[in-house]
Amino acid sequence: MQHGKYRFIVGFLALPLIVYGIFVISPFVQAFQISMTDWSGLVGTARFIGLENFERLWNSDEFWNALRHNVYMLVGVPIVTLGLGLFFAFMLNVGGKRRKNEVITGVTGSKLYKFVFFFPQVISVTIIAVIWFNIYNPDPQDGMLNSLLGTVGLDGLQNSWLGEKSIALLCISAVMVWGHVGFYVVLFSAAMASIPRDIYEAALLDGASRFDTFFKITLPLLWDTVQTGWVYMGIIALDAFALVQIMSVNMGGPDGATDVMPLRLFQTAFRDSQFGYASAMGVAMLIVTMTFAVLTMRFARRERIEF
């Protein structure tokens, strides 16, 4: 019986593992192989050069500049996105006024709010980038943000936004937060729906404030969901290719202020035809992403709370 069980398991998993190996593992192996060459993209032009691409990468100021920007986004974007997602989900589900015979209730119209928050998720990232590129338009008449500031008498706050080196990356990061916070509102709302209302009601009857119920009940019980969301959002922050490519000045400008690793990889491969060097960047990105995921799962791990 045991041998029959193992044969069934192997037979059941064999095809999915083969498909996964071909379409997921194999490209990673090929990328590492290409990173050891000076391939220009033309058939038959690859020449093995060992670790020279990685040595060049280590000494590249452009790569470290792009990596630094990714790290900034990796730290800031998930914190703000998950924080806002938790806050809005908590208010929508348990932040309403107490009604008759109900101790815990969400705000009025919470379903409509969830739809509004989630709406950016159904829009292509390209469309989001184009919309916000026009919002950030520095023209006081055509740019929606500058036009709005001028209308309310805040002309002093008008800026070139994406053309300002000190805030360009922050502007793009804000768009990333706007585009993803709705997903986490819905995700955390679904997780909160599984928490028994009796726990909240008992806490409030004992005199606990909304602040206490959030940090002592909601957050601990949602920690596994938050941890997974942190890894997912971190990987998105490490990418940011589409937004930067479409929104930034001259693809990564001004003066490299919004350059990120995926954009640097894209330009190296398809503009400069240095596919071996670009593959080395891809391997470096894989290492950074895996390190981030492992560290997050390791240090954010805590004892599971059952309810």
Give the model confidence (pLDDT) of 118-143 as tens digits: 888 888 888 999 999 999 988 877 78
The candidate with the shortest Cα–Cα distance to 261, out of 283, 246, 276, is 283
The architecture CATH gives domain 54-299: Orthogonal Bundle (1.10)
Give the model confidence (pLDDT) of 61-84 as tens digits: 998 999 999 989 988 999 999 999
Written as six digits, the tokens of 17 are 């593992």
Give the model confidence (pLDDT) of 255-265 as tens digits: 888 999 999 99
Give the model confidence (pLDDT) of 137-166 as tens digits: 888 777 888 888 888 888 888 888 888 888
- pTM of the complete model: 0.84
Q: Is the pLDDT of residue 51 over 70?
A: yes
pLDDT band at 8 (very low <50, low <70, confident <90, very high): confident
Residue 60 Cα distances to 38, 56, 57, 152, angstroms: 16, 6, 5, 46
Cα pseudo-dihedral 75, 180, 230, 282, rounded to 10 = -70
| Cα(194)–Cα(196) distance, integer angstroms | 6
